[in-house]
Amino acid sequence: VQLQASGGGMVQAGGSLRLSCASSSPTFSRSVMGWFRQAPGKEREFVAAISWSGYRTQYAASVKGRFTISRDNAENTVYLAMNSLKPEDTALYYCAADEETVSGQVTSALQRYDYWGQGTQVTVSS
């Protein structure tokens, strides 16, 4: 399975970006998809996750209300819309696929994700 993330860039505080992650998995529609991020010198942390159908989502407290995760199973793509960006959102953003968690559930546990993309850089200036 290959995950290709894109859409990162440099924006000013208060701006918006939309990340995309295209999957090569033939079972994408039966995978929980997540976004994680890692800032320099820090551990990788959970950002958002979405269930198979997209009905259930979960967000880190630091992004709730500003970020929205969505998916298009027909296009094998998951998205992360990021609004009201802050300098502390600066990080390398990774998409990941969890092919074990059952339908209707999501997980924020990094170790549950089986496949990872290469990351896309988001830089927010003050």
Q: What is the pLDDT of residues 97-122, one digit of tens each?
A: 999 888 888 999 999 999 999 999 99
pLDDT at position 79 is 98
Q: In DSSP terms, which residues pair with 3 in a beta bridge?
A: 23
Low-confidence ranges of the chain (pLDDT < 50): none
pLDDT at position 102 is 81
Whole-angstrom distance, CA of residue 52 vs CA of residue 124:
31
Whole-angstrom distance, CA of residue 97 vs CA of residue 123:
24
Q: Which amino acid is at 50?
A: I
Whole-angstrom distance, CA of residue 17 vs CA of residue 67:
10
Q: What is the mean pLDDT of the chain?
A: 96
pLDDT at position 104 is 83
| Closest to 126 measured CA to CA, from 90, 93, 83 | 90
Residue 57: both structure tokens together? 């989502």
By residue count, the chain amounts to 126
Whole-angstrom distance, CA of residue 81 vs CA of residue 108:
18
